[in-house]
Chains A and B, each alone.
Chain A
Amino acid sequence: GAGVSQSPSNKVTEKGKDVELRCDPISGHTALYWYRQSLGQGLEFLIYFQGNSAPDKSGLPSDRFSAERTGGSVSTLTIQRTQQEDSAVYLCASSFPGANEQFFGPGTRLTVL
């Protein structure tokens, strides 16, 4: 594909519901990253995948957050029992491992009412 794609572009949900956010990386990029961009916290790292494994999950804010990657390609970020403080733009990026440039998707704007 031309670039990193994410879906949905916008998601509005009610407090307490679960949500799934999807990321489709650039073909051939084995490294995949999730970040969160929020007003109060800026841009924060959440999790990094190399292939299907996640050697760095240090940025996940709580056990309500999880992510998986299958087939070394698409990744899903799941937030369970959403809270209002989860409202943010969730960004996905991909790269070749060790490469300096990470390519970012357009993001998913999550609003928790």
Chain B
Amino acid sequence: GNSVTQMEGPVTLSEEAFLTINCTYTATGYPSLFWYVQYPGEGLQLLLKATKADDKGSNKGFEATYRKETTSFHLEKGSVQVSDSAVYFCALRVFGNEKLTFGTGTRLTIIP
């Protein structure tokens, strides 16, 4: 079946630190990969996506590269801000199957 394994949280970093949240996947087909973010008190929203191997998704200073050889889609940001504090979810969708399969989520807290 399809599954997403995500770095356990919570993660606490100081402002301007470098961030990596690991995500690996298994999929029966050829997946599209996503990072969703849930800010405090808000709904889930798409942060970035990649639909084929070696694609890099980016948004708001965050990046993730679709690595087929390591079945990974790690989220990175060079310098985090307090406003990045949120829960981050890695997810996949296999072509022909409409549902998203999510990882367990990683709570990120940035301290000034």
The answer to whether B104 has its CB under 8 Å from any CB of chain A is yes
Q: In whole angstroms, how far apart are the Cα atoms of A35 and B14 in the complex?
A: 33
Give the total of A residues in contact with B, Cβ under 8 Å: 23
Say whether A102 contacts B100, CB under 8 Å. yes
The answer to whether B69 has its CB under 8 Å from any CB of chain A is no
Say whether A100 contacts B99, CB under 8 Å. no
* CB closest residue in chain B, given A97: B98
Say whether A100 contacts B49, CB under 8 Å. yes
- Number of inter-chain CB pairs below 8 Å: 48
The answer to whether B66 has its CB under 8 Å from any CB of chain A is no
Chain B's interface size range is 20 to 34
Chain A 79-113 interface mask (CB, 8 Å, partner B; 1/0): 00000000000010100011011101111000000
Task: Check A100/B43 contact, CB under 8 A, given A43-B102, A45-B101.
Answer: no
Query: With a CB–CB cut-off of 8 A, which chain B residues contact A59?
Result: 99
Query: With a CB–CB cut-off of 8 A, which chain A residues contact B73?
Result: none
Say whether B98 contacts A91, CB under 8 Å. no
Q: Given A4, A56, A105, which contacts B98 in the complex, CB threshold below 8 Å?
A: A56
Say whether B44 contacts A91, CB under 8 Å. yes
The answer to whether A42 has its CB under 8 Å from any CB of chain B is yes
Q: In whole angstroms, how far apart are the Cα atoms of A75 and B43 in the complex?
A: 18
Say whether B89 contacts A43, CB under 8 Å. yes
* CB closest residue in chain A, given B105: A42
The answer to whether B51 has its CB under 8 Å from any CB of chain A is yes
Task: Check A48/B32 contact, CB under 8 A, given A42-B103, A105-B43.
Answer: no
Say whether A43 contacts B43, CB under 8 Å. no
Say whether B100 contacts A100, CB under 8 Å. no
Chain B 32-50 interface mask (CB, 8 Å, partner A; 1/0): 1010100000111110010
Q: In whole angstroms, how far apart are the Cα atoms of A45 and B3 in the complex?
A: 12
State the 3 A-B residue pairs at the shortest beta-carbon distance, nearest first. A43-B102, A104-B44, A45-B99
15 contacts between A and B (CB under 8 A): A35-B102, A42-B102, A42-B104, A43-B102, A45-B100, A45-B101, A48-B99, A56-B98, A91-B43, A100-B32, A102-B100, A104-B36, A104-B43, A106-B42, A107-B43
